[in-house]
Amino acid sequence: MKEKPGNTRLQIRLHRTRPGRGRQAGRRWAAFIMGIWMVLLQFVYTDVPVQAQVEVSAPSAILMEASTGQVLFELNATERRCPASITKIMTLLLTFEQIELGKIGLEDNVITSEYASSMGGSQVFLAQGEIQTLDTMIKCIAVASGNDASVAVAEHIAGSEEAFVALMNEKARQLGMTDTHFEDCCGLTNSDGHYTTARDVALMSRELITKYPQVYNYTQIWMEDITHETRQGTANFTLSSTNKLLKQYPYATGLKTGSTEKAKFCLAATARKDGIDMIAVVMGAPDPKGRFKDAQTLLTYGFNISAMYVDPNTDPLPSLAVERGVAEQVPLAYAGEFRYLDTQGRDLSRVEKVIELPESVQAPVEQGRQAGVAKYTLDGVELGVIPILYGENVARAAYSDYLRKLFRDFLL
């Protein structure tokens, strides 16, 4: 179903002074009754996926909507399993993070070490001493799943694969990937100490595609040539995508395949339809075709039951009165857009938005601090809130500020 832009009925609600005790008691009873009613409505409206409609061959899988992180389906999603080359999702995530920080660039020359060139398994046959740009190395990782390219990039960023793996595990910890531990940067190891889960793979995939959507410039490549330039001469090499969904599923955008004897066949698949991004993770599928079929089943299920409500929050907000400040008012700004994923077929045109703000604020006021909220409800059920922030700093007025104000008012 299509993404639906915000079309809310907007109310602005100011917090008032505290009412008398009698009115408070009456409101407490009303709130109690309303609370029970809200709980009942929440029970009725809870977005619980109807998983009986989905059958997959893999022993572990999950389906997640990327922008909200909402899980629509899961099967043994916290079961620790060998990830094989979907390990490289974390390698790509750290690479784009380092680019954003300005520590590396796409035009960097990445030198292939003897160790990197010795990697077996899936590779692009980089020779010792061969130089490729980081841009090309990312293609080798994202398209052809090159183990040699992954190690070369890891060494370029951290100096050694071991140091890079430490960064991988630290990032996993930051993302809440509680059932993950990496021992290499490419997934070639068969060690029991190298593991993750379908849920954790979805978490790192979400981080990658939402923070660095430029990764799609690489993961959507089906076939592309690179040039090897070594002492032996120059030769072209064709990178071919390992992700067959790019040809099998019209909405596919990525992301990464993986397979070893221990891991069997794995896939983290991303797809976009009608403004909605889905992540389907399949681990331990019994055969290569099965992982693609499972992923397509999950993605199709997700798109069929989903509708996205989006409010970009571009409407103007009122300024807020400031007491005892050097300025009499402070501008306000939304913290961001609001997104809500519905899987129950509800009428999203009935969403209501209420702005809740105090009548005034005491100085000092710090820019970026929360002033209030924009609250979204549907048929009385709260869907979520977006913070409303102070847009500027307002210092507390000193005695001299009051004198200047009096003098200015006198002249006017």
Give φ, ψ of 326 to 5 degrees.
Answer: -70, -20
The owner of tokens 């660095």 is 212
Active site residue 85: yes
**Active-site residue, from 60, 67, 85, 306:** 85
Q: Which residues contact 389 (CB under 8 A, 6 or more apart)?
A: 332, 333, 334, 335, 367, 368, 369, 370, 371
Q: Are 334 and 353 in contact (CB under 8 A)?
A: no
Largest CA distance in the chain: 91
**Active-site residue, from 60, 145, 150, 205:** 145
Distance separating alpha carbons of residues 342 and 264, to the nearest angstrom: 34
The burial of 53, by beta-carbon neighbours within 10 Å (0-12 exposed, 13-18 middle, 19 or more buried), is given as exposed
Tokens representing 84 are 């094989």
Distance separating alpha carbons of residues 320 and 318, to the nearest angstrom: 6
Tokens representing 286 are 């019994």
**Active-site residue, from 4, 60, 67, 88:** 88
Tokens representing 282 are 């399949």
Which pairs from 261-265 meet CB under 8 Å and 24+ separation? 261/190, 262/82, 262/84, 262/190, 263/81, 263/82, 263/83, 263/84, 263/187, 265/290, 265/291
Q: Known catalytic residues?
A: 85, 88, 145
